[in-house]
């Protein structure tokens, strides 16, 4: 557990793997942390300095579009997943609850 007295900006993240959506998501989630990466395929390490502000702005825009939507659709890509109806029901309840809290 992290001490309460120290903010996340006091920590760094060392990511092992190729540049990927996972790394981008980590960088967006913990955007106050310094990131260093190591790619085992190329044996290269680096300090990540890529600006993620464009990705954050796109995410914010899409969230605002979803909030302003009058109709929300749930698209199911496969019916072969066990208990998919319960997941859809949970999403419906969460969507209605979020709408009523505004």
Q: Is the pLDDT of residue 1 over 80?
A: no
Structure tokens, 31: 């955007």
Which of 51-55, 71-75, 86-90, 97-101 has the highest mean predicted lDDT (pLDDT)?
A: 86-90
The answer to whether 9 touches 33, Cβ cutoff 8 Å, is yes
Pairing of strands 12-16, 34-39: parallel
Q: Is the dihedral of CA 52, 67, 96, 78 positive or negative?
A: negative
Per-residue pLDDT band at 52 (split at 50, 70, 90): low
Q: What is the mean pLDDT of residues 8-24?
A: 86
């Amino acid at each position: 557990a992290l001490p309460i007295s120290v903010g996340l900006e006091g920590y760094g993240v060392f990511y092992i793997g190729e540049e990927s959506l996972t790394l981008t998501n980590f960088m967006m989630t913990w955007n106050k942390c310094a990131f260093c990466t190591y790619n085992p395929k190329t044996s290269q390490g680096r300090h990540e300095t890529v600006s993620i502000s464009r990705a954050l702005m796109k995410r914010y825009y899409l969230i605002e579009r979803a909030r302003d939507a009058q109709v929300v659709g749930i698209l199911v890509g496969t019916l072969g997943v066990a208990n998919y109806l319960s997941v859809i029901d949970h999403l419906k309840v969460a969507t209605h609850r979020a709408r009523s809290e505004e």
